[in-house]
Amino acid sequence: MKIDYYAYHSGMTKWNAGFKVLLAVGTLLMVIVFNRVRISLFAILVMSGLTLIAGRLPIRTYAHYLTIPFAFMLLSSVMIAVDFAGTPKGDFNFSLWFFYVCVTRQGIATAAQVLLKAFAGMSALYMMAFSTPMGEFICVLQNLHLPGLLVELMHLIYRYIFILLETAERMQTAAKVRLGYGSLRQGFRTFAGIAGNLFILSMQKAERYYDALAARGYDGKLEFLREQRPVSAGQLAGAAAYIAAIIILGRFTR
């Protein structure tokens, strides 16, 4: 929930949002297309460097947000490298009761390649997320001519997540003061009551916010304030050098 906070306080906030999105998505596509370990490592180095150095994101915060996706990627890579069989058939075999855990060198290489490729993609997306507030990202989607209804729903859903979380937190605090979680049974009853009340309140808030929009001239289309942020020559030169380096690593090296 603090990603927006870091995005607004990032050293890259003043960068053009479209440029950051294009750089992140382009990195993701190039990593997938070239499918090389050296390109994945290079993308991880550059994207993480931008997030930590240019974006001035604390390294402990960055590592904290990477923990869960990296654990998932690591577990998935292990499942790629490991095979189960009734007889030994790998370069490394471990007997477990009535079956064998088999690991091959090719499987380890494939798992490492997949892990680095996934981590490179995650680094690119984190660079975009930690430097681009949601409002600016929505403006980029509008510039790409995505359906207006889809873009507006994304913005409203994202905005109301925080409103509903704040409301639920207040209701939960009130329930705790009244010993609503004194026992397991009472806790379930309190949870069910909060969920029901939250649904009713969400419907009421939706009606109130629609009335507020209509009073301000809402005609079915949300308009967002856009700040002009041209891409600097240094940013273009850096992006060109980065893309050229990836192409050289992908086409002219083994």
Strand partners, 101: 84, 94
pLDDT at 59: 93
Structure tokens at 62: 């960055």
- Residue 71: pLDDT above 80? yes
Residues in the chain: 254
Which amino acid is located at 177 in the chain?
V
- What is the side-by-side strand order in the sheet with 82-85? 82-85, 99-103, 92-96
Least confident of 41-45, 88-92, 179-183, 236-240: 88-92
**176-191: average pLDDT:** 85
pLDDT top residue among 252 and 38: 38
Which amino acid is located at 195 in the chain?
A
pLDDT in tens, 9-23: 899 988 999 999 999
Place of tokens 């409002």: 135
Check residue 219 and give left, alpha or beta (phi > 0: left; psi -120 to 50: alpha).
alpha
DSSP characters for 156-195? HHHHHHHHHHHHHHHHHHHHHHTTTTSSHHHHHHHHHHHH
User: Where does the pLDDT of residue 162 fall: very low under 50, low under 70, confident under 90, or very high at 90 and above?
Assistant: confident
DSSP characters for 12-27? TTTS-HHHHHHHHHHH
Structure tokens at 59: 């390294």
Structure tokens at 173: 């605090």
User: Where does the pLDDT of residue 181 fall: very low under 50, low under 70, confident under 90, or very high at 90 and above?
Assistant: confident
pLDDT at 118: 92
Residue extents of the structural domains in the chain: 3-132+228-251, 140-215
Contact (CB, 8 A) for 131 and 17: no
Rounded alpha-carbon distances, angstroms, from residue 110 to 37, 66, 76: 10, 22, 12
HSE toward the beta carbon, residue 61, CA cutoff 13 A: 15
Contact (CB, 8 A) for 117 and 32: yes
Predicted model pTM: 0.79
- Residue 226: pLDDT above 80? no
